[in-house]
Amino acid sequence: MIGLDVAIVVLVGVCALSAVRMLRGPHDADRAVAADLLMFAVLALIVLIGVRSGSIAAFDLVLVGTLVGFLSALSLARALTRGRR
């Protein structure tokens, strides 16, 4: 349980730093990468809290969130390249 608590604290720190980078990023690509990192860090937090509490429903939520995150990362990459391949 101590390992889970340490991991949760580390991920909260990652979320805070990623949010700062997302708000203050000098380029659009920096903001997109920070938003992607923030989303996956929040999903990791949900997994760790689900493991700690023994909730099975958290994993269904993470599965849907991961699919949405992957598709949003693809759409952000497409938007940043302005449709060029």
Q: Which ranges of the chain have pLDDT less than 50?
A: none
What is the CB neighbour count within 10 angstroms for residue 58?
Answer: 19
pLDDT of residue 72: 87
pLDDT of residue 28: 82
pLDDT of residue 25: 80
What's the Cα-to-Cα distance from 55 to each of 8, 46, 49, 66, rounded to whole Å?
Answer: 16, 10, 8, 18
Residue 77 half-sphere exposure toward CB, CA atoms < 13 A: 8
Distance CA 13, CA 39 (A): 14
pLDDT of residue 78: 84
pLDDT of residue 6: 95
pLDDT of residue 15: 94
pLDDT of residue 39: 92
